[in-house]
Structure 1
Amino acid sequence: MKLTEAISRDDASTIHPYYTLEFFPPRTDSGFENLLTRLSRLSVLNPIGLTITWGAGGSTKQRSLDLAEAALGENPVTILHLTCTNMERDMLDDTLDNAKARGIQNILALRGDPPRGEEYWIPCDPQFQHASDLVKYIRKRDGDEFCVGVAAYPDGHSLDEDAEIANLKLKVDAGADFIITQLFYDADGFLMWLKKVRESGVEVPVLAGVMPIQSYASFLRMTKLCASRVPPSLIASLEPIRHDDEAVKEFGVEFATDMIRTITSPNHNGPTVQGIHFCTLNLEKSTWRILDNLGWIGTTAHVLDEGKNRLIQPDSNVRPSSASLLITPHDAASAATPKEAEDTGPISHTTTTLPALPANQAVTWDDFPNGRFGSADSAAFGVRDPYKNELGMTAAEVHRLWGQPETIEDLNAMFLKHLRGHSPFSTTPWSPNPIAAETKFILPRLIEFTSKGTWTVASQPAVDCMPSDDEVFGWGPKDGFVFQKAFCEFFCEFVTLERLKHKAAALDTVKFFAANAKGEMMTNMAPGESNAVTWGVFPGKEVMQPTVIERSAFQAWAEEAFGIWSEWALFFPPASTTRQLLERVRDERWLVSVCHHDFKNPNDLWDLLLET
């Protein structure tokens, strides 16, 4: 079904705005399978549609198509994101044909990452320079077979506001049927922008992009990547609770609820939105909570009659209580195993009341965190930015930050500059932020280790029973205690890895994973064994283990880490000394993740590494 058809039916039969849910293809097979189970659970929220993101340059093509096809089993309105930048026309044609064959009728046409100046990238078809080009191409190629949407940027993008709105109108005039906006956190600013959009003559449906705040770190990262305006009052509210993940998530639910009420309320001068687009980051708890706060669950028309493949109106008087959503005090601490996640069965599309979701099931077990250090079985594993390439930078930014290294010594200097923090721009392609406060406790050891030509990209000191509100090491709810094992991750030569392997063989306390760009692995871990390197104990809650490193998680990260070497190299001409150096290092070095389990002796790991 096309989104515009579903919206037309919705207008006559519901009492609140419609909404879509966005997902990205997980990096691991187990994460993919668990996301399918999550889609089944979320289907009872009755979204008008599901959208599936598309990796830069078609990097997630097959997984995106597979996920979109699976999503069709949960919702007839499935929208596939599709970008044209850095993609050959043959790939676009193949994707459109493939989508059509799978029954996908909706496309969100995006330009994708902009052309980056002097970057030496994969050649692409010059006819696709803007999203409007892609819209025109789809219309010319497939007529009205697809319902086509485009993106909009309430907080600006690469142009000033008037130019952005003119560009949006150009996309609509090219044949776009609907608009989904970039995420934003300034409701008043959004409403002023929407008024200008309508005054420009754009009349197609606009779905406002809402990304609930999941954690303080992810909020800062995503708003930076998306260039979103953040009201000072929002930062002021988050600052006192930034170390309490559960409090931040709760605040994010309430903030998103209030923002949606503001932009959908008719009690202000100007237009309101009738559609909300939830950027879920493959998590579900916040979306459940927000929709429950709004009173939008159980009163919508978006229940699928599977026998007749049409939308039907459920009993609008049936409304589940908050209790039936299982918003319990300890669900953020759930630690269900992947098996428990897999055993959570699908829920029928025609259910009109929400069943209770018992504690310790997959609705909550991956709430903290949703990043690369979490469980690889999580549907949210590995998200950095599902919309961009790994670096997400222009050529000018890359050259300004890291220069044009031509020797191993130049690379040594870059990694050491990051550790020593010589300037605000002291980063590496694998460490986009300045070193954390806790790193200063092991900084002399890291500098000495890196000086020997072994390049560290992640680390943490050992911590034994630190209060959860500690300014440096604290995290999680108040009145708890946190622990962590010494951990280090680095690129090294094979001879160094061999020495480490030899030394670790005599120590039960040292465990490691290692991988190279070819996908070869080396480890002293037993099959199924993992390193839980951070955990916390809190009153009335199960033990939280937000940092777990195991085989499939490390493999996924290693693929990404070596991909960053490849992408960095593409910013330089093929025959240049810099490109040849970066590609040679990528092919010859190993990525190693080593953990020392004796957190009572914080110096043991660093003594071992320096001996190695």
Structure 2
Amino acid sequence: MKLIDKISTYNSSHPFYTFEFFPPRTDQGFGNLLPRIVRMANLNPLAISVTWGAGGNTKDTSLNLAELTQSEYRLDTILHLTCTNMEKGMVDEALRAAKESGIHNILALRGDPPRGKEEWLPVDIKFQHATDLVRYIRSHPEFSSSFCIGVAAYPEGHPDHLADEETELNLLKEKVDAGADFIITQLFYDEDRFISWFEKVREKGINQPILPGIMPIQTYQSFARLTKLTGSKVPLQIMSDIDAIKHNDQLVKDYGVELAVKMIRRITTETDIPGVHFCTLNLEKSVQRVLESLRWIGYSPQVVPNKLIEEPTSEHVLPGTITPVSAASVAALGLINIPASETEAGSGELNKADSWDDFPNGRWGDSKSPAYGVQGPWGNNDAVNQGTISQWGNPKSLEDLTTIFLQYLHSEINTTPFSSDPIQNESRLILPHLQRLTEHGWWTVGSQPAVDGVHSSDPVVGWGPRTGYVYQKSFVEFFCTEEDVRMIEKKVAEKGDGWVHYYAANSKGECRSNVPDDGRNAVTWGVFSGQELIQTTIIERQSFLAWKEEAFSIWLDWASFYPPASQERKLLEGVHNERYLLNIIHHDFKSKEALWTFIFDA
């Protein structure tokens, strides 16, 4: 059903709400997201939305997920769709696939603009702005009456340009006049600014329903990264509050719930917004707690998928719950490849399925998590842009690249293409080792020190609830030559004694490892009062390969900012083509020096 029709007939004592999900980067993450969406369907959202990666890089998984939620779960689904950097014909293909799946709602977005002089990427010149996409759908006989169209709004200004507020309002009016039915805003935390902007929107004659984007703060790291990415203007009081508790993950999560409740209560009281849009980051507990605090959770008939729900095998299934989706039934659709035994609800990690991934620690997380590979809002997750490359100059040699990575380690620059944030205090604990590796031409992009039962309140390595202890195995990840990989392999075989695991892969698809295909290395875990052991960081083949694809694409992104045939471009493309990404884990977490002694002996 079209969202605008559901909004016009919505009748309740409280505003409606919608949930936003993104397709995880791994099959297991995808498989575990499905039962999470089913559980969250019991919260009775008016609709859900599925994000679309920049340039269509999640095209297949976005369409698969949207098809499942729409046709199998009978959840009215909004498919996000970007138009720039999309290969010619991809927009039509996506719209036809959505229509065939019974999807009636599209969120039309501009997406990332072409980077630098990216001449090698074909671009359909018909689509340069979201307005072009809205106008195209409305004018196309095949699509015009099929879709309800939403567009994005930016109460604090678009992060990619510095247009004044009046210009931004005019751009929004253009999208609405082109045929948009509803508006979803970028996330924000400044209620005063949103309310002022909302009033100006209405004064502009824009009367379409506006859904404010609300993202409950999940972790300090994700909050800092996403507000930076979106350009959100966070009030000083909120920044002060968060900064005071940033080392206590549970308090940050609790604060995020309280702040979201406060914001929603005020903006629903002082404006005529009909509903709110939750950026869930594929997590469920915080959104549920917000709705419980607002007393918005209703008890309408449950949503039951057409084919994916298996019959209950126990007489103790509670009324009003949805039977979990099995991996076998999902895999049977031919959409993803998941071993059924690893994703059945009610086994292992999924016994606490609503919260087992609440405390992701670092980039890796767990590739089984529905939140694995979290992206920025609406698929925009760029580390390389025109603003950041100015820090890195014009590298023309391998030595120049080594200098850039050393400058980052020494805090002379704040970013690298592989990290959008300054070097962390945790990395400073092993800084001499990272410097030594980098000086050798092994450019480090990920690492952590060994930690043996440090209190979870520790300001540097602590995480999770404050009543516990955390542990870490040391690992390091860097780019190197094939000869270096062979040398490490030889060293591991001769002197690893079962303590050292490694993964090495290149851009051509080769992966070398001494870890069994089904091996999973827990490198961060915590023990807390009244809880099961929590494993927040897992390194295994699937997660490494998912990150490897992104890591090598970053070299090409970086190269694209330099002219074809330039020394810089040849250098960066050469690194992409010739180097390996190598990850080395040492399992002796009781020794702070075990990993480094092993590597430097090599």
Q: Same fold (TM over 0.5)?
A: yes
1:117-156 maps to which residues of 2 (within 5 A)? 118-120=117-119, 122-141=121-140, 142-156=143-157
What one-letter code is carried by the residue in structure 1 that aligns with 2:238? Answer: L
Aligned partner (choices 202, 219, 222) of residue 218 of structure 1: 222
What's the CA shift string for 1:149-172, capped at 9, x where partnerless? 100011111322121111111110
Residues 77 and 363 of structure 1: is their aligned pair in 2 closer, same or farther, counting only changes over 3 Å? same
How much does 1:174 deviate? 0.6
Deviation at 1:25, TM superposition (A): 0.9
1:593 aligns with 2:583: yes
> Unaligned regions of 5+ residues in structure 2, if any?
307-318, 321-338
Q: How does 1:458-497 map to 2 (within 5 A)?
A: 458-497=446-485
| Residue of structure 2 in register with 1:545 after alignment | 535
1:287 aligns with 2:278: no
Classify the secondary structure of the residue corresponding to 1:165.
Answer: helix
398 and 37 in structure 1: CA distance in 2 versus 1, 3 angstrom threshold = same
How far apart, CA to CA, are the structure 2 residues paired with 1:389 and 1:196? 27
Of residues 291-300 and 552-561 in structure 1, the stretch that sits farther from structure 2 once superposed is 291-300
Q: Aligned with 1:481: secondary structure?
A: strand
Q: In the aligned structure 2, how far is the partner of 1:176 from the partner of 1:47?
A: 21
Instruction: Give the CA deviation at 1:54.
Output: 0.5
The verdict on how the C-alpha distance between 1:499 and 1:386 changes in structure 2, with shifts beyond 3 A counting, is farther
Name the SS of the counterpart of 1:45 in structure 2.
Answer: coil
Q: Secondary structure at the match of 1:360?
A: helix
Q: Say yes or no: does 1:194 pair with 2:198.
A: yes
Counterpart AA for 1:129: Q
Task: Give yes or no for contact 1:390–1:564 (8 Å, CA) kept in 2.
Answer: no
What is the aligned partner in structure 2 of residue 362 from structure 1? 353
SS in 1 for 2:89: helix
Matched residue, 1:317: none
Deviation (angstroms), 1:392: 4.7
The structure-2 alpha-carbon separation of the partners of 1:55 and 1:370, relative to structure 1 and needing over 3 Å to count, comes to farther
Indicate conservation of the 8 Å contact 1:372/1:381, yes or no.
no
- Tell me how far 1:209 sits from its aligned partner: 0.5
How far 1:360 moved relative to its partner? 3.1
Determine if the alignment matches structure 1 residue 521 to structure 2 residue 523.
no
Q: Do 1:37 and 1:342's aligned partners in 2 also have CA atoms closer than 8 Å?
A: no
Shift of 1:3: 0.5
Per-residue CA deviations over 1:58-114 (Å, capped at 9, x if unaligned) read 111111111110011224421111111111341111111121111111110011113
Relative to structure 1, the CA distance from residue 579 to residue 214 in structure 2 (aligned partners, 3 Å threshold; closer, same or farther) is same
> 177, 182, 193: which one pairs with 2:181?
177
Matching residue within 204, 210, 216 for 2:208: 204
CA distance in 2, matches of 1:251, 1:599: 33
Matches of 1:485 and 1:304, distance apart in 2:
43
Corresponding residue for residue 352 of structure 1: none
Moved >4 Å (runs of 4+): 115-121, 302-307, 337-341
- Larger CA deviation: 536-545 vs 158-167: 536-545
State the Cα deviation string for residues 159-213 of structure 1 (Å, max 9, x = none). Answer: 2212111111111011000000000111122111111111110011111100110
Q: Does structure 2 retain, via aligned residues, the 8 Å contact 1:370–1:382?
A: no
Distance in 2 (CA, whole Å) between partners of 1:370 and 1:6 is 39
Q: CA deviation at 1:551?
A: 1.2
Give how far 1:339 is off. 5.4
Asked if the contact 2:154/2:186 (under 8 Å) is kept, the reply is yes
Matched, 1:379 2:370: yes
CA contact (8 A) 2:117 2:560 kept: no
- The structural deviation recorded for 1:115 is 4.3
Aligned to 2:312: none
Deviations 1:312-346, CA, capped at 9 Å, x for gaps: xxxxxxxx99xxxxxxxxxxxxxxx995753259x
CA distance in 2, matches of 1:128, 1:530: 43
> Contact 1:15–1:299 (CA<8 Å) still a contact in 2?
no
1:273 aligns with 2:273: yes
Amino acid at match of 2:259: F
1:377-416 mapped onto 2 (5 Å cutoff)? 377-385=368-376, 387-388=378-379, 391-395=382-386, 397-416=387-406
- Aligned residue for 1:79, secondary structure, equals strand
DSSP-derived class of the 1:240 partner: helix
Question: Does 484-493 or 377-386 show the bigger shift?
Answer: 377-386
**Aligned counterpart, 1:113:** 112
Q: 1:361 offset after TM fit, Å?
A: 2.8
Q: Does 1:25 align with 2:23?
A: yes
Q: Deviations over 1:101-156 (max 9, x none)?
A: 11111110011113445454623233322111111011011222210110001111
Contact 1:391/1:564 (8 A) holds in 2 = no
1:305-384 correspondence runs (5 A)? 341-343=343-345, 360-369=351-360, 372-384=363-375
Give the counterpart letter for 2:246 in structure 1: R
User: Given that residues 111 and 380 in structure 2 are in contact (C-alpha distance below 8 angstroms), is that contact kept between their aligned partners in structure 1?
Assistant: no
- Cα distance change on mapping 1:135 and 1:61 into 2, 3 Å: same
Q: Give a deviation string over 1:548-598, Cα, whole Å, max 9, x none.
A: 111111111111111111211222223222212111111111111111111
The Cα of 1:438 is off from its aligned counterpart by 2.1
Give the match for residue 509 of structure 1: 499
AA aligned to 2:136 is Y
Q: What residue number does 2:546 align with?
A: 556
Q: What displacement does 1:531 show?
A: 1.6
Indicate if the aligned counterparts of 1:55 and 1:386 stay in contact, CA closer than 8 A: no
Deviation at 1:236, TM superposition (A): 1.5
Q: In 1, Cα distance between the equivalents of 2:374 and 2:305?
A: 33
- Structure 1: 5+ residue stretches without partners: 308-319, 322-336, 346-357
Query: SS of the counterpart of 2:7?
Result: helix
The residue that corresponds to 1:79 in the other structure is 78
Aligned to 2:431: 443
Q: Distance in 1 between matches of 2:19 and 2:440?
A: 48
Instruction: Give the TM-score taking structure 1 as reference length.
Output: 0.88
**Quick one: distance in 1 between partners of 2:363 and 2:341?**
20
Alpha-carbon distance in structure 1 between the residues aligned to 2:131 and 2:248: 43
Q: 1:348: which partner in 2?
A: none
For 1:479 and 1:584, the matched residues in 2 are separated by: 49
Contact 1:150 1:178 in 2 (8 A): yes
**Which of the residues 35, 38, 42 maps onto 2:36?**
38
Which residue pairs with 1:604 in the alignment? 594
Residues 376-435 of structure 1: CA deviation (Å, up to 9, x unaligned): 11111011425345535433x24302122111111111111111222xx34211122221
Q: Give the corresponding residue for 2:311.
A: none
SS of the residue corresponding to residue 378 of structure 2 reads coil
Q: For residue 235 of structure 2, what is the aligned residue in structure 1? A: 231
2:486 aligned with 1:498: yes
Please report how far the alpha carbon of residue 367 of structure 1 lies from its aligned counterpart in structure 2 after TM superposition. Answer: 1.4
C-alpha offsets along residues 484-503 of structure 1, whole Å, 9 cap, x if unaligned? Answer: 12110111111111111111
- For residue 244 of structure 1, what is the aligned residue in structure 2? 248
CA distance in 1, matches of 2:56, 2:562: 22
